Amino acid sequence: MEDKRLLIIDSNSVIHRAYHALPPLTTEKGETVGAVYGFLLVFLRALREFKPDFAVACFDVKGPTFRHEKYEDYKAKRPPLPEDLGRQIARVKELLPVFGVPVFGKEGFEADDLIGTIAEAAPKENPSLEVIILSGDTDTMQLVNEKTKVYNLRKGVKDIVLYDEEMVKEKYQGLEPSQLLDLRALKGDASDNIPGVPGIGEKTALSLLMEYKTLENIYDNIALIKGKIREKLVENKEGAFFSRELAEIKKDVPLDFSLENCRWEGYDKTAAAKILKEMEFYSLIDRLP
């Protein structure tokens, strides 16, 4: 079977990144479209760069997820979604099918969980498949393995890096992608309001995992850990394991997914160009693959 490639888009994170990186562009009719423009810029670049055989876009869905049910304060510190950003997310959702990309969202789960599930399921349908996750944040790096890479917006919408296992190790001082979950369990995550172990930052968490490899092993060897760090770990053992539960991306969401239904065989270029004209993205028309 010849090697094929699946592009999975972590849509909300890319739109968010574009929204904060670019000035708020407005059409003559007064529609704010800066985040849509930024998203398309990144999306078209990914199509050119990876020439996927399959493509799918995952979105967050309004309402609480199973994580909120476990932990009321999950993501509690996040400001409400700006109205113009909400409208632009909806606009991207409408646009993607025009580009031949099916859209997935599921109540009670985050886009990351759908991405994890699809990245796990797709290679079972085609063992030679390479999976590329396009994302605006680093959460999905825990999914990196020999089949899966993350094309990550490092800064703004132009500095984008493809992370494979080696690149992840380089970024996280030698940690394997599978250890990143335990890293978040220890240091927490302020943006998602995941508590972690209070007083343990990234540096300490990295050195603990470099030495003991896993969260379980850290606690199995707690007697060897000295001073304040040991105290903090002992006091917050439950919190550390609970934080890991919150941070773990699901890989078994019940989804009506079939790789064949996500085959990317091109799209109606005329219809796409018409929408880009409507939104006054004239410079993007020339970039249509």
What pLDDT is recorded for position 20? 93
Predicted model pTM? 0.95
Return the pLDDT at 266. Answer: 80
Residue 1 has pLDDT above 70, yes or no: no
> Can you spell out the DSSP letters for 188-223?
-BTTTTB--STT--HHHHHHHHHHH-SHHHHHHTGG
The confidence score (pLDDT) of residue 2 equals 64
108: left (phi over 0), alpha (psi -120 to 50) or beta: left
Burial (CB < 10 A; 0-12, 13-18, 19+), residue 265, is exposed
For residues 73 and 65, the model is more confident at: 65
pLDDT beyond 90 at 157: no
The pLDDT, as a whole number, for residue 80 is: 86
For domain 177-247, give the CATH number: 1.10.150.20
Q: Mean pLDDT, to the nearest integer, of 176-186?
A: 96
Confidence of residue 77 (pLDDT cuts 50, 70, 90): confident
- 4-168+253-283 folds as Rossmann fold (3.40.50)
Tens digits of per-residue pLDDT, 232-285? 999 999 999 999 999 999 999 999 999 999 999 888 999 999 999 999 999 999
Read off the pLDDT band of 155 (50, 70, 90): confident
Task: With H, G, I as helix, E, B as strand and everything else as coil, classify residue 110.
Answer: coil
The CATH 3.40.50.1010 domain(s) of the chain lie at 4-168+253-283
Query: What residue spans in the chain does CATH classification 1.10.150.20 cover?
Result: 177-247
pLDDT tens-digit series, residues 189-212: 988 889 999 999 999 999 999 999
Average pLDDT over residues 214-233: 95
Q: What is the mean pLDDT of the chain?
A: 94
